[in-house]
Amino acid sequence: MHKPMLSRRGLLAQLGCALPIVGLTANAWAQGGPTVTPRQTEGPFYPRQKPADIDNDLTAFGTSSRPAVGDQLTVQGRVLDRSGNPIPGARVEFWHCDTHGTYHHVGSDGQIDQYFQGYGEMLTDVEGHYDFRTIKPGIYPGRACHIHFKVFAPGHRPLTSQMYFDTEMEANLRDGIYRRLSEAERKAVTLSTSSRSGRQSSIEGQLDVVVA
Ligand SMILES: [Fe+2]
């Protein structure tokens, strides 16, 4: 069920090279170690019951061959301790609304994309990597575009937080949950993205998560 979606090598090949990841890490640590990922509210939409399919590809629900609606998005990074050591075997949970702004598995009666999985989870690999394939979340009133996540790392307190997009800074700065973070904390929850246009546009986001 916890299938690795992209190998490390495959992922770097897709990104073009390893430099952006190395550069980000070096920048974060140049100022005295990585910023611990801030805790943020779980919100009311954590699944009441987890779906039958909980793998790390949210664009394909169950056995359906029809993909979720929306811009394809890949999110990847590592789970690290506050010294920057990767943590293997950490469970990363990931949930967000569909392209219509509707959360699944919470009894919602809004317009719903039945082909979107809504929630997924996976274990980090031996180098602490996680990766999810999904779609860019829709928008719902009062919030910037965001993804909820939890990390259960062995020997660490569970972390609940949210991630945002570096392409949505205007909306992020209007979002009350984002605004209450310090500048360093905002960086620690903002995906570094690159995008490709084509028949269907796709976005690649990168974010390391640091647990206390
Ligand atoms: Fe939310």
Distance 107 CA to ligand 1 centre (A): 15
- Number of structural domains in the chain: 1
Average pLDDT over residues 198-212: 90
| Share above pLDDT 90 across residues of the chain, in percent, rounded to a whole number | 78
Residue 1 lies in a domain: no
Residue 21 lies in a domain: yes
Residue 73 lies in a domain: yes
Is the pLDDT assigned to residue 51 strictly greater than 80? yes
For the beta carbon of residue 2, count every other beta carbon within 10 angstroms.
13
Average pLDDT over residues 76-88: 97
More confident residue, 165 or 3: 165
Tell me the residue range of the domain where 102 lies: 8-211
Distance 43 CA to ligand 1 centre (A): 6
pTM above 0.95, yes or no: no
Distance 1 CA to ligand 1 centre (A): 25
Estimate to the nearest angstrom the gap between the alpha carbon of 80 and the chain centroid: 15
Distance 31 CA to ligand 1 centre (A): 31
What CATH number should be reported for the domain holding residue 165? Answer: 2.60.130.10
Roughly what angle, to the nearest 10 degrees, separates helices 19-30 and 8-15?
90
